[in-house]
Structure 1
């Protein structure tokens, strides 16, 4: 169907020549209709294999993919940094750590300073390892969530119902807040390590 736009009023005629402009063909939803054909029978819009459930599945998968890929890449970076940082901090702690019997000179202020440094470094390592541990747990949870959502279902409607249950669980357990909190914990760990080196 072709549309024409005509300017026929007096002002347009006085201002200059009359224009006939063709508007583009209206094909905005043809791709959508090809991918998701309309339901054949009126009243079957909420049946198990209705178009709405197929559209929901596509949109939900796109949203989940973007969200989970972002979280997963953040967790990968945190795991690498936490592992490298823990190795470096452990080397400093081993050099500073003594397991022998107590010595009388440990009562002096200089040895109390060394003890404080050891406490800061041990705390730093514990926080770093906690970040690594929590990152692994969240990555496993993300993998399980993806596997459950990619599993086949009896019908698109059953898939939508199952996805809604898992999606509500994803947002009920504050995964996003935890993924945002892990870099902060790693920064605190890094600052404690630097405080011990000063």
Structure 2
């Protein structure tokens, strides 16, 4: 009777814990899939600013040739000088650095969420075998202690932190992307990001001050 009560309570606790993890990972997978797809569209456009446009090189050469031909009437022809080496803008470097890191973090979150789903299925499979009440109780205790020993709870908590960091990097890169395009729009985006960061920090600190606050962030 005692083992049956223990097994029922342990299974109820484990089921609630694993179901919560599974639902969280489902949401993470959906959000990260949509997010990385949108981010990829931005990266496709932004990485072009890291290399020289062949059309710009052609225009520069034609301009120099035109200037050389125009100067022939005033004296001996001048040789065409070397073209200046291409240097990407600092804003382009910052933007692409943030966005590529953000993309890697987003894809990593998807992979880790898939791992968690697989591990929870394996845990349920191992703990639902019932050869005997005593052995079943030992399997439940052994498996749960394994979760605690190897930091499964911490591992699950790290995934949303990475996803949130990826989102912040995207917003930061967006400021760099807009800097050479439109300064007022860049400042507007910077102010929006600043307000968003303040709200995020407030939601992080409020539970530390008021224990009954319903807000929570992965930090």
TM > 0.5:
yes
Q: TM-score, normalised by structure 2?
A: 0.62
| Aligned residue number for residue 107 of structure 1 | 87
Whether the 8 Å contact between 1:106 and 1:112 is mirrored in structure 2 is: no
| Aligned residue number for residue 159 of structure 2 | 182
Whether the 8 Å contact between 1:85 and 1:128 is mirrored in structure 2 is: yes
How far apart are the structure 2 equivalents of 1:175 and 1:73?
Answer: 16
Mapping 1:1-198, distance limit 5 Å: 51-98=1-48, 104=84, 106-107=86-87, 111-153=89-131, 155-198=132-175
Unaligned runs of 5+ in 2: 54-83, 176-219
Q: TM-score, normalised by structure 1?
A: 0.68
Whether the 8 Å contact between 2:50 and 2:92 is mirrored in structure 1 is: no
Task: Tell me the matched-pair count.
Answer: 145
What RMSD, in angstroms, separates the aligned Cα atoms of the two structures? Answer: 1.9
Unaligned runs of 5+ in 1: 1-50
Shift of 1:112: 2.6
* Larger helix share, 1 or 2: 2
Q: Give the structure with higher Rg (CA).
A: 1
Q: CA offsets per residue over residues 28-48 of structure 1, 9 Å max, x none?
A: xxxxxxxxxxxxxxxxxxxxx
Shift of 1:100: 9.2
